[in-house]
A and B are shown apart, each in its own frame.
Chain A
Amino acid sequence: MHIIRFLLSFFLTGATIWLLSTPQKAGDSTLPPLATFFNPFSGFWKNAEPVGGFAPENLNLPGLKGKVEVVYDELLIPHIFAGSKEDAVRVQGYITAQHRLWQMDIAARKASGRLSEVLGERTLNIDRITRRRGMVFAAENNVLGWGKSPEGMRLLEAYAAGVNAYIAQLSPADYPIEFKLLNYAPEPWTVLKTALIVEAMAETLCSGENDLASTIALTQFGRDTFNYLYPEWNPQQQPIIPDTGQWKDWKVALPPLPAVGTKAGAPTSGSLSGVFEKNGDFFAQPGDVDDDYIVGSNNWALAGPNTASGHPLLCNDPHLNLTLPSIWFQVQLHTPEQNCYGVSLQGVPGIAIGFNENIAWGLTNVGQDVSDWYRLQWTNPERTKYSLDGEIREVQKRVEVIHIKGKEPLLDTVRYTVWGPVVYDYDKEHPLRDCALRWITHDQPAPDAPNIFIFLNAGKNYEDYRRALAAYDCPAQNFVFATRTGDIAITVQGRFPVRAPEQGRFVQDGSRWSNAWIDYIPSDRVPAMKNPSRGFVFSANQHSTPPSYPYYYLSGDFDDFRGRHIYDRLTAMKNATADSMKTMQLDNFSQRAADALPAMLRLLDQNKLDADGRKMTAELAAWDFRYEADATAAPLFEVWFDSCYQKTWDEITTLRQQKKQVLMPERWRFIELLGKDTASIFFDHPATPQRETARDIVNETFALMQDYFRQNPQKRTGWGQFRGFTIKHIAQIDAFSRLDVIVGGNGSAPNAITRTHGPSWRMIVELGERVRGLGVYPGGQSGNPGSPYYDNMVNTWAKGEYNDLLFLASADETSNRILGRQTFMPRE
């Protein structure tokens, strides 16, 4: 009897332990193992950091050459003082891991197609596409290229060793809470993972292309209509580098015109009208505002004569997907060669955007298309051989092993051609099934690539800046620059193929090598400008140059609005101060609204409106085109403009409904037609017997807009409330996200805040005898949702305020803003 009672109790206890240490399914979600997660000794309670109790310990770190001192300021920003660059980045790695380890882990996993390993089958498709696009292949090539610089490689390895020294001393109780929730453990950092983080940036910033959508548009509409709908140059554009005659004497030999592979999934016959009549009345629901414009970034520098201090001012606000933890981590790196402050990318040594005593620099994305599709001519049914200039080539197979939690791994064979990987051949329906991807990101970087930011961080003058940039390939960036001694400059830096006109605009014929990128624009011919007479340089992801630049380049995503307004403001700017720079970064004025609304109001038959409509019209007419959080006219315009755009391109949306991904015309072109070509055939609805004009569309969509707000009275609010805004946790965990922030801004305004994207780091640098930096990002230094430093800068950012950046001259400097000090010593 005793034995039975004992055994029963024993097994009950064992079963309880098992049950409480195993993840449990609850509906759609999986609960973490309950006792593992709730116990106060190693579970989530251990991540509850004491408020006001930050006290860094002194540590011994293997591999250090000398003593490294770290001063933490009140925002948990580390100021690292080291005797050498290598020691500095080693400690940078340690400290970044200490605050952002899970973010580093998940970012490297995402970039390498290894999410399913910890998240299970639901992320398998993401992993598969990541692998098939050659992300790991690219990162491996990156490491091969970096290996050619022993100095650079030593720093990358020191950084990784710093990260690993932190990981090595962790017990499961210390793991970031996300590891506990998802029930897995951190693994060592490698140089390959740093390369993966860089590739992930490239994926975000330079993977854009419209090859297929343009090809389908061309075959559907024919050349004349295509040219009418999709002009490449916006005549109102203010390019980054104006034509000052600097390239008029260049002799440029462009390659022969490319052969266009028009068969890439697009039908080659069939009349348009038949298509439209069937489904001509389709349009997007009004109010379903597409706020996801490609947002980019702003940067500019003003020369001394235009500033109050007589010294240059430099500003930068890169717009990215806003997440918690933030993409940026602030840090100061002081060595005998440099004293540099700025933001770093977790997983990458050095400072990406920042300043030192002598110089400041900032980045925006160039956005030129460096990603082309080539249609292959297979010569066997197995699709392993293809023809190139009449010769038969064999694909190289790369087997991607994707581990899946709780399942057998997926072995995925990716075929590589001379162009690059055949990404979509596993999908019989995919229009790019027989195409290979040529993407600049796959190429080996220049040997000096790992040193670019290391050199820049220590730069003293314009020559240092140009020398550091020379090795910078990808993702191409507009590097704005200013010095204490008064120079300002901007360089459109990257590796750009020499293209024949329109080469890369459409899917190309992959059976001819003459379609390849053979040469690249020499580094002394990339667009650049130093000390222009107008006294400022700037960029906002717009066209790099006017059409007179001798090299052809393309992008469907150049910005058409922010840059023009920034240009206007900089042109008028005199006696600029940090405060006037703030008003520019926070400027919610939309050039798009200023271009479109007057034209729309002109076409509106106001005398036919009811009282409510007249009230709305009055509100719109009085609007100053600023997307302030409380602007009630902005939602009216946004819904009206969007309906107008959708209704005008009903022909195209109909085709897109039928899975023909025809390119949408750019918004600037639409606004141009509203003003200049009101009788365009595209304003006509094919399904109606009469012929509509822009006037009809404008009036029809105004009524739709009125209906929308009549049916959704709660939407008749300020813009901030109407648009909505979130800063989501990286794993989309709402509890760790900020969903309560109401802000103004719009993708077409300098303060380019959309629902999910926005200025990820606002920085203003006043150069001079003593450099002063102002900055803020919508997040916090700690990646731990249980830390008071997790999101402590979000409100500052939302209010449009800045932090005065604490730029210390030495580790001994005192300040009432210092939180704690820490010393790292070499381990014997």
Chain B
Amino acid sequence: MKNALYIILFILILGSLSHFGLPWWAVVPIAAAAGWFFPLAAGKIFSIAFVAGALLWTTNAFLLNAANEGILSAKVGVLFQGLKGWHLLGITAILGGILAGFGAMTGRLARDVFVGSKPKV
């Protein structure tokens, strides 16, 4: 449980910092690092990193959207066949989640190859 919290914080903090200058896919290597340092079971680490990536992306999007009073998301929603602003937040969350999840899982599995440690539970 504690590990899960660490992983989420790790991805949230480094993920937020990384975007001063790094490209959007920086979340993938960051999640991979999390997977390396916190070697939970692959399925578990995917889920935790998914939550972290989703939170990272959607919180940032949510804040921008709230400050904008939803002006732009309403328009972009129309552009995407009539989606609502919160649909777009959902898509953003899923995309962030998938990227972080895959990243963390890859980092975790890399550790198996290069270090060979047994997963802690």
B-binding residues in A (CB < 8 A): 2-3, 5-6, 9-10, 12-13, 16-17, 20-21, 34-36, 38-51, 53, 177, 181, 733-736, 785-788, 790
Contact = CB atoms under 8 A, between A and B. Distances in A.
A34 B95 contact: yes
Interface string B68-98: 1101110111110000000010011001101
A181 B75 CA distance: 13
B24 to A, nearest CB: 4
B75 A735 contact: yes
Given A9-B109, A785-B71, 12 more contacts: A2-B113, A13-B99, A20-B95, A35-B95, A38-B88, A39-B57, A39-B95, A40-B61, A40-B64, A48-B64, A50-B68, A785-B75
**Which bucket holds chain B's interface residue count?**
35 or more
B106 A10 contact: yes
B25 interface: yes
A544 to B, nearest CB: 44
Q: Which of B57, B68, B110 has the most CB of A within 10 A?
A: B68
A38 B78 contact: no
Contacts of B73: 45, 48
Interface of B: 19, 23-25, 28, 42, 57-58, 60-61, 64-65, 67-69, 71-73, 75-79, 88, 91-92, 95-96, 98-99, 102-103, 105-106, 109-110, 112-113, 116
Q: Which of B77, B91, B102 has the most CB of A within 10 A?
A: B102
A256 to B, nearest CB: 60
22 contacts: A2-B116, A9-B106, A10-B106, A13-B28, A13-B103, A13-B106, A16-B98, A16-B102, A17-B28, A34-B91, A35-B25, A35-B95, A39-B95, A40-B92, A42-B19, A46-B64, A47-B72, A48-B64, A48-B67, A733-B79, A735-B76, A785-B71
Given A42-B23, A45-B61, A733-B79, A2 B106 contact: no
A735 B83 CA distance: 11
Given A13-B106, A48-B71, A53-B67, A40 B28 contact: no
Nearest to B81: A26
Contacts of A49: 68, 71-72
Contacts of A50: 67-68
Contacts of A6: 106, 109-110, 112-113
Contact of A35 (B24, B60, B113): B24
B102 A12 contact: yes
A420 B37 CA distance: 71
B89 to A, nearest CB: 9
A185 to B, nearest CB: 14
Nearest to B68: A48
B111 to A, nearest CB: 9
Contact of B113 (A3, A39, A735): A3
A53 B60 CA distance: 17
A50 B88 CA distance: 18
Contact of A41 (B60, B75, B102): B60
B50 to A, nearest CB: 12
Q: Which of A2, A9, A788 has the most CB of B within 10 A?
A: A9
Contacts of A43: 24
Closest 3 pairs (CB-CB, A-B):
A786-B72, A48-B68, A40-B60
A539 B102 CA distance: 67
Nearest to B94: A38
A327 B60 CA distance: 34
Contact of A40 (B57, B69, B110): B57
A783 to B, nearest CB: 13
A786 B102 contact: no
Contacts of B57: 38-40
B81 to A, nearest CB: 9
Given A9-B105, A13-B28, A35-B25, A41 B19 contact: yes
Contact of A2 (B61, B67, B75, B112): B112
Contacts of B64: 40, 45-46, 48
Contacts of B92: 38-40, 45
Contacts of B91: 34, 38
B30 to A, nearest CB: 12
A13 B42 CA distance: 14
A802 B36 CA distance: 63
Q: Which of B73, B77, B106 has the most CB of A within 10 A?
A: B106
A786 B79 CA distance: 13
B109 A44 contact: no
A480 to B, nearest CB: 38
A181 B79 CA distance: 10
